[in-house]
Amino acid sequence: MKKTLWIVLAVLILLIGGSYLYFNTSPSSFAEEAGNSTKKVDVVDDSGFLMFTPLNQEVKESVIFYPGAFIDPLSYAPVVKGLANAGYKVYIADMPLNLAVFGQNKAADIINTHKEEHFVIGGHSLGGAMAARFAHDNMGDLDGIFFLASYADEKGTLAKAPFSALSITATKDGVLNWDTYEKNKKYLPENTTFVSIEGGNHAQFGAYGKQNGDNDATISVTEQTNQTVTALKTWLALVVK
């Protein structure tokens, strides 16, 4: 029995290690720059979250962000910095082994310790699916959910959710399973807004370079970031009452 357990653990280690080598997950210089504090936004890495807090303005809503598989949280700094500049406080979860499947309930740590705040949740790729599973179990604690190149599954169905959703995809995405994405629309809230970014790809929802299996984008990461932030801000303005 012990020998079998060790074999299983060894295989898991090899699979995870191989995945780290396969995926290019290092934040780009664009992401690193966005991860610095400014006069408008304070950036702090603390207690398992990378936090972007607006300064000298009222916080409109708090946003919890789940990263994609094997992606460093800092890679999403450009998108969340754009939200923070607009008055939204953002928490990017630092997942165990950079896999949201092992940290599905991390949002509870923030919600339970910041009861005075109002929250939406969302994520990129695998992070979005795990955010949906958390939202499925905690609908009363959330005002909405968003998906970047992602979708809810049966375990995270939000078909009866009392809040709205935002789904953003990109036309050059070569990583997203488009067939499953279409089939799983049935698990989204009735009030879901769909946005498609022409020329964008999967990796440019973050800023970590080219991802294996992805298509080349025909727009820059800066342009895709700007369009993503605009779509999120437009949707959040409707969510915040």
pLDDT tens digits in sequence order for the chain, 241 residues long: 444 444 433 334 434 444 444 455 689 999 999 999 999 999 999 878 999 999 999 999 999 999 999 999 999 999 999 999 999 999 999 988 878 889 899 999 999 999 999 999 999 999 999 999 999 999 999 999 999 999 999 999 999 999 999 999 999 999 999 999 999 999 999 999 999 999 999 999 999 999 999 999 999 999 999 999 999 999 999 998 6
Flag whether 127 is in a domain. Answer: yes
- What six digits make up the tokens of 168? 């953003």
Look up the domain containing 152 and give its range.
23-239
Q: Is 12 a domain residue? A: no
- Please, which residues bridge with residue 167 across strands? 147, 194
17 in a structural domain: no
Q: Is residue 207 part of a domain?
A: yes
Q: Decide if 79 is inside a domain.
A: yes
How many domains are contained in the chain? 1
**Longest distance between any two alpha carbons in the chain, whole Å:** 59
Q: Which residue type occupies 236? A: L
CATH number at residue 180: 3.40.50.1820
Residue 8 lies in a domain: no
Domain-located, residue 1 = no
Given the structure tokens 């406080």, which residue do they identify? 89
- Write down the pTM of the prediction: 0.90
Geometric angle at alpha carbon 72, from 23 and 38, rounded to 5°: 140
Q: Tens digits of per-residue pLDDT, 98-122?
A: 788 898 999 999 999 999 999 999 9
- C-beta contacts of 39-48 below 8 A and 24+ residues apart: 40/84, 40/85, 41/81, 41/84, 41/85, 43/77, 43/81, 45/94, 47/109, 48/93, 48/94, 48/106, 48/109
Residue 211 lies in a domain: yes
